[in-house]
């Protein structure tokens, strides 16, 4: 099948788009309003977009509190959601009033960040402390400016990792079990069983062919 995204004539039960681009990481974003109200919400239109300097982005449908706080204060923190924290993460997405502290609502603990004012989620295995760079407004659907997405970029100025998740000099993703967003209301998470290693292919001297190198990782970033 195929469909035209302007017409959305897929004939399926639900729009499949978000189920096609999976798994998506979840940025559990904490911010402070300019009057100091603490805010926490998950965003799965979220990813790392560079590592020199490390930068992340997320997009907000409409001008939600997270976006407003970041534009007003210039700082945010993305905590990494382990699968254990799934219910707390979900609870923090509830559209409660502006003055409600979503850390409390979700039952998680704020822990001081090192380089920015908003706290991280203490129970999370890692957190990215970010300084706001810019917002890029995305094109809105014809005649519906209120449905516009706003793409927010931030530079990661500090990284926190719970030492329990560092094993042999490596961040132990299998132990952290990061949660991922799939389509519809589905989620997944990484485990040791679902992880494997692929070395990058070695290009032959003549530059016309390449060879696959069997694992384990040979320690080379090609």
10, 18, 38, 64: residue in contact with ligand FMN (rule CB under 6 A): 64
Least spacing, CB of residue 134 vs ligand FMN, in Å:
17
Residue closest to 99 by CA, chosen among 39, 55, 143: 39
Stretch that binds ligand FMN, among 15-23, 54-62, 134-142, 156-164 (CB under 6 A): 54-62
66, 82, 113, 177: residue in contact with ligand FMN (rule CB under 6 A): 66
177 binds ligand FMN (CB under 6 A): no
Please state the length of the chain. Answer: 222
- Cβ proximity to ligand FMN: between 15 and 93 the closer is 93
- Cβ proximity to ligand FMN: between 90 and 188 the closer is 90
DSSP string over the chain: ----TTTT---SSS--HHHHS--EE-EEEEEE-TT--EEEEEESSEEEEEETTEEEEEEEESS-HHHHHHHHH-EEEEEE-BGGGHHHHHHTTS---TT--HHHHHT--EE--SSSSSPEETTSSEEEEEEEEEEEEPPPPTT-GGG-EEEEEEEEEEEEE-GGGEETTEE-HHHH-BEEE-STT-EEE--GGG----PPPEEPTTSS-EE---SS--S---
CB 82 within 8 A of CB 178: yes
37, 61, 148, 180: residue in contact with ligand FMN (rule CB under 6 A): 61
Binding mask 11-50 for ligand FMN (x = CB under 6 A): ---------------x------------x-xxxxx-----
- Cβ proximity to ligand FMN: between 10 and 18 the closer is 18
Q: Binding-site residue total for ligand FMN (CB under 6 A)?
A: 18
60, 79, 82, 177: residue in contact with ligand FMN (rule CB under 6 A): 60
Partnered with residue 57 across adjacent β-strands are 47, 153
Dist. CA 29–CA 57, nearest whole Å: 11
152 binds ligand FMN (CB under 6 A): no
The rounded radius of gyration (Å) of the Cα atoms in the chain is: 20
Least spacing, CB of residue 181 vs ligand FMN, in Å:
5
Which parts of 84-103 interact with ligand FMN (CB under 6 A)?
90, 93, 95
181 binds ligand FMN (CB under 6 A): yes
Residues at the interface with ligand FMN (CB under 6 A) = 26, 39, 41-45, 58-61, 64-66, 90, 93, 95, 181
């Amino acid at each position: 099948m195929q469909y035209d995204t302007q017409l959305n004539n897929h004939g399926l039960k639900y729009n499949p788009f978000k189920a096609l681009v999976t798994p998506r990481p979840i940025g559990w974003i904490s911010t402070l309003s300019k009057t100091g109200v603490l805010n926490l919400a998950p965003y799965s239109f979220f990813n790392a977009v560079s590592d020199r300097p490390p930068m992340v982005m997320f997009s907000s449908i409409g001008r939600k509190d997270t976006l407003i706080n970041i534009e007003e204060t210039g700082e945010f923190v993305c905590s990494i959601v382990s699968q254990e924290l799934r219910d707390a993460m979900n609870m923090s997405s509830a559209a409660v009033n502006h003055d409600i502290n979503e850390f409390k609502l979700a039952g998680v603990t704020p822990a001081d960040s090192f380089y920015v004012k908003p706290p991280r989620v203490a129970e999370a295995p890692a957190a990215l402390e970010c300084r706001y760079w810019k917002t890029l407004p995305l094109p809105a659907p014809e005649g519906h400016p209120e449905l516009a997405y706003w793409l927010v970029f931030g530079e990661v100025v500090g990284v926190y990792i719970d030492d329990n998740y560092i094993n042999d000099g490596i961040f132990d993703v299998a132990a952290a079990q990061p949660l991922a967003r799939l389509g519809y209301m589905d989620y997944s998470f990484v485990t040791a069983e679902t992880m494997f290693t692929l070395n990058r292919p070695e290009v032959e001297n003549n530059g016309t062919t390449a060879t696959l190198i069997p694992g384990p990782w040979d320690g080379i970033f090609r």
